[in-house]
Structure 1
Amino acid sequence: MEDTTHSQEEKAILVGCQLPGQTDERFFYSMEELESLTKTAQGQAVATVTQKRERYDASTFIGKGKIEEIVALEEELEADLIIFNDELTPAQNRNLSRYFDARIIDRTQLILDIFATRARSREGKLQVELAQLQYILPRLAGIGTSMSRLGGGIGTRGPGETKLEQDRRHIRTKITDIKRQLEDIVHHRERYRERRKENQAIQAALVGYTNAGKSTLFNGLTRADSYEENLLFATLDPLTRKMRLPSGLQVLVTDTVGFIQDLPTSLIAAFRSTLEEVKEADVLIHVIDGSSEDRGQHEETVLSILKELGAASIPMVTVFNKKDLFNEGFIPAASTSISISAFESGDLQRLKEVIETEMKKQMDYYHIFVPASEGKTLSMLKTTTILLEQRFEEETQSYECKGYALPSTKLQ
């Protein structure tokens, strides 16, 4: 039987340019990641072309010799597209189009394409569309295709406008409309967060490099059914579910979009409201693929983005996932880390204990007496605090309760 998988994939030539400030390790990892991104976007990398330069060519990004090499490869391999590992300027894209028959896209476009196929919620789809439109707008003159399908129609075009001006107007109108819709969603999300605070809900957020196994871990901890797949950016829309810690304390856990090296700024901006969930967390669970040779770089990237988001000071539990695939001799460096397999129930239980210990560090010890008639308060102590001891006092007809609670928790 004939394998039709590759026949459906677009053939891509990957192009990278290494500048003096980039180490070989970082550059070649970035090129490998570009290949993974291509695969995730249903493409097949058939060739890789790299060049070392002092600076990018302002006109064509790479030198004339490399352009000729790619022209020959394009003909020989019948490539459908040429993917550049950095963001091209509108002029570079336009100039390169004169040399190649294949479509030219850059890393940002590729990530946007993946995001477009992964977004499931209305907010996720709007955020991706906004980032795409903001990317397209300054490049419109070089695209050479009609953008009229993006919006507008009869009654929206002024007299005497050229097609390009019409398209720009359509896109600007669409951008304004999407921003307005996203503002409504952001306000709704803020109200929802405020309600969670009023209900004294403790919040945790799973963060990590894309494909570290966050969704698998999320499903194991909360018994939810989040989307799991061994691809980059499998999760785009944040899911929040309840997790019960060993003491009975309930924590709301959010699964967030995976981070990536050189994530385009427009995408961080577009997903900022989604990533606000990270800033609101009482504890972060940083998931690292312990089986990856590039785990150090992944960790560095995540910590850098958390700093950019203003979330670097939130207490964190570091989780090295996929321990069954670890290289021999690998010992995690972080002192507050735990090595697990997200598929092992015993490991999930150990992780919950570590999370509870981390939560306790942020809490204040309490010792109170609750009348037996106040069942609601007793129930609240079991789910929103770490209740260590509950003993009934016959004389006072009350429960002596000892445990730990967040400073903001109203105990009585």
Structure 2
Amino acid sequence: MFFERPEAGRRALLLRVHFSDFHAQGDDSHAYAEAPAQAEALELARSAEIDVVEVVTAKRRTPHPRWFVGSGKLEEISRAMAANRCDLLLVNHDLSAGQQRDLETHLRARVLTRTELILTIFAARARTYEGQLQVELAQLKHAQTRLVRGWTHLDRQKGGIGLRGAGETQIEMDQRMLGARVKRVQKKLADVRRRRDQSRRRRRRESVRTVALVGYTNAGKSTLFNALTRATVLAEDKLFATLDPTHRRVTVPGAGDVVLIDTVGFINHLPHDLVEAFKATLEEVSAADLLLHVVDASCENPSDRIDQVNDVLSEIGALGVATVVVYNKVDVAGAHVGLSHANVAYVSARDCDGLEELIELIAQRLGVGANPATVTLPVEDGKTRAWLYRIGAVVDEQLGEDGTIALQVRADKRLMERLQSIPRVSCR
């Protein structure tokens, strides 16, 4: 962005390193823990439309302070890139700015870290104004950490218009420019957050519940969202296919119209800058009445992914929100569809199997009682009767001898309070 670097192509070598002594690295040791799964790194590359032609692995006790890997492994990487005509090195870790600069200088090729690869995908996926702002903020925050001496253009500049004094360096000017852009984007995002907060307050005034879908990326959230709402949100077999939050209304028997929110997927070692930048979106999760934690039942270690999603939920203050765990893709995993217990559901969103049981579980978690209440209303009040049928709350109907209509209704607390406020309607 602000410094001259080799052009990045689409033909790449992937580097994955296991560090056996990362706990000795101090406070930043987490950045040098064993790299995330190789399969996931390859999926990230595929989602960014990058062709990984070879994977190079290495083992070290600690990262090399200059090149991240030892000189022997560096030469192996250089030979492999030349043999495969690669113009890009993907490092499945985060690097210091100095390490990245020195690798690019030695290899004469672009080096992308895991964070930068994820940012690249996010930039390609953002469609809305809000999404583009959030990605830009994350990119700017990351760029601020990349400004180091040694890039070819970061030499001392002469004074002049726009430069502070006769000796401001290019790196100082870049820092100032980045800081100004960060402030402008943050101001625009603050306006977005205010508008979202107003929408949430309006929904609360109207007693409309919100249910947010969360989960590891590519767990099938958008497919489930489409199945529940009959919408057509983009659902692809790619990481981060959905980036911008989508809202749709869905009817839950006994709870009425509920706003269902499809959100961005999480991933292992989700860059902190992304979490910070996407606060406007992630606040929808922490403010929801219920979370549907969608889990890919066919993945190798679903419990690990559940833990990783919970780590992000904890970071955004949403771990205490009521949650239903939804194991999706059971048609692939071979689990029993529709088997629900203790806030867990098993579904196939693709085949629309198990959705009725899931909706029933959602209703229970939103406070819809198992035992119907009796709602009595005058026969001429067709509007209230039609409304109760529309939201799926009516279990049974009988016509009384006095000309009233007695409805057996499943309802949550909010719906009962609303019914009790209607003239000539009695509830028991």
TM, length-normalised to structure 1: 0.85
Q: Match for residue 257 of structure 1?
A: 264
399-408 or 190-199, which deviates more: 399-408
How many angstroms does 1:382 deviate by?
A: 5.7
Q: Following the alignment from structure 2 to structure 1, what is the Cα–Cα distance between the partners of residues 95 and 416?
A: 51
Aligned to 2:173: 166
- Mapped to 1, the partners of 2:341 and 2:306 lie a distance apart of 11
Q: 1:297 aligns with which of 301, 304, 307?
A: 304
Q: 1:336 to 1:401 in 2, by over 3 A?
A: closer
Task: Tell me which of 41, 62, 74 is aligned to 2:81.
Answer: 74
SS in structure 1 of the partner of residue 259 of structure 2: strand
Q: Deviations over 1:203-260 (max 9, x none)?
A: 1111111011111111111011111111100000000101123457322100010110
- 2:361 matched to 1:354? yes
Provide the rounded CA distance (Å) in 1 between the counterparts of 2:316 and 2:95: 26
Q: CA deviation at 1:277?
A: 1.2
2:349–2:355 CA contact under 8 A, matched in 1:
yes
- Residue 409 of structure 1, CA deviation: 6.9
Residues 144-173 of structure 1: CA deviation (Å, up to 9, x unaligned): 4889xxxxxx97554544443333222211
Distance, in Å, in 2 between the alignment partners of 1:372 and 1:184 is: 49
1:87-106 superposed matches below 5 A: 87-106=94-113
Cα distance in 2, alignment partners of residues 376 and 21 from structure 1: 70
1:325 maps to 332
- How much does 1:15 deviate? 1.4
- Deviation of the 1:329 alpha carbon: 9.9
Letter in 1 for 2:227: G
Question: Residue 334 and residue 91 in structure 1: after superposition, are their counterparts in 2 closer, same or farther (change >3 A)?
Answer: farther
State whether structure 2 residue 119 is matched by structure 1 residue 116.
no
User: For residues 182 and 394 of structure 1, what CA distance do their matches in structure 2 show?
Assistant: 60
Identify the residue that residue 238 of structure 2 maps to in structure 1. Answer: 231
Deviation at 1:293, TM superposition (A): 1.5
- 2:211 corresponding residue in structure 1: 204
The within-5 A match list for 1:8-407 is 10-20=10-20, 27=34, 30-141=37-148, 144=151, 157-158=163-164, 160=166, 161-246=168-253, 249-326=256-333, 335-360=342-367, 369-370=376-377, 386-388=393-395, 391=398, 393=400, 395=402, 397=404, 402-406=409-413
State the 1:264 CA deviation: 0.6
* Aligned-pair identity (%): 35
AA aligned to 2:70 is G
Structure 2 contact 395–407 (Cα < 8 Å) conserved: no
After the TM superposition, which of the residue ranges 105-114 and 349-358 deviates more from structure 2? 349-358
Q: What displacement does 1:375 show?
A: 6.1
Gap change, CA 1:168 and 1:121, over 3 Å in 2: same
Answer yes or no: is the 8 Å Cα contact 1:236–1:257 preserved in 2.
yes
Which structure 2 segments of 5+ residues have no match? 1-7, 24-32, 155-159, 422-428
Give CA deviations for 1:160-210 in whole Å, capped at 9, x if unaligned.
Answer: 444433332222111110000000000000000000111100111111110
Of 93-102 and 245-254, more deviation after overlay is shown by 245-254
Letter in structure 2 aligned against 1:75: A
Q: 1-side partners of 2:254 and 2:415: how far apart?
A: 19
| 1:48 Cα deviation from its structure 2 partner | 1.7
Name the amino acid aligned to 1:254: I
| Unaligned ranges ≥5, structure 1 | 1-7, 148-153
> Judging changes above 3 Å, is the alpha-carbon distance between structure 1 residues 19 and 165 closer, same or farther for their aligned structure 2 residues?
same
Normalising by the residue count of structure 2, what TM-score does the alignment of the two structures yield? Answer: 0.82
Contact kept, 8 Å, 2:193 with 2:280, in 1: the verdict is yes
**How far apart, CA to CA, are the structure 1 residues paired with 2:358 and 2:210?**
16
Partners of 2:378 and 2:404 within 8 A in 1 = yes
146 and 204 in structure 1: CA distance in 2 versus 1, 3 angstrom threshold: farther
Which region of structure 1 is more displaced relative to structure 2, 102-111 or 323-332?
323-332
Deviates more, 1:363-372 or 1:108-117: 363-372
Distance (Å, rounded) in 1 between the aligned partners of 2:336 and 2:391: 40
RMSD: 3.4
Looking at structure 2, the residues matched to 363 and 196 of structure 1 have their Cα atoms a distance apart, in angstroms, of: 25
Q: Which AA in structure 2 matches 1:203?
A: T
- State how many pairs are aligned: 397
> Is contact 2:336-2:346 (8 Å) kept?
no
Q: 1:35 to 1:248 in 2, by over 3 A?
A: same
